[in-house]
Amino acid sequence: MVYSESEIVHELEAGNEVCLNMLFDNYYRALCVYAFRFVPDADDVEDIVQEVFVSFWMNKKRTVFSGSVRSYLFGAVAKAASKFATRRGRIMFDDVEKYVDQFLEELVEYDESEFARLRDKVYARVEALPEKTKEIFKAVVLDNMTYQQVGDRFGITVNTVKTMYYRALKQLKEELGGNALVLFFIILR
Q: What is the pLDDT of residue 91?
A: 45
Confidence category of residue 185, pLDDT binned at 50, 70, 90: low
Could you tell me what percent of the chain has a pLDDT over 90?
10
Backbone angles phi, psi at 39, to 5 degrees: -130, 125
Considering only residues 112 and 175, tell me which one the structure prediction assigns the higher pLDDT: 175
Q: What is the crossing angle of helices 147-154 and 158-176, to 10°?
A: 110
Say how far apart CA 179 and CA 7 lie, in whole Å: 26
* Burial degree of 59 (CB within 10 A; 0-12, 13-18, 19+): exposed
CA within 13 Å, CB half, 58: 6
Query: Would you say 119 and 184 are in contact if contact means Cβ atoms under 8 Å apart?
Result: yes
Q: What is the pLDDT of residues 139-172, one digit of tens each?
A: 887 777 888 889 999 999 988 888 888 888 778 7
pLDDT, residue 100, reads 53
| pLDDT greater at residue 114 or residue 179 | 114
Confidence (pLDDT) at 180: 58
Instruction: Evaluate if pTM is beyond 0.75.
Output: no
State the CB neighbour count (10 A cutoff) for residue 64: 8
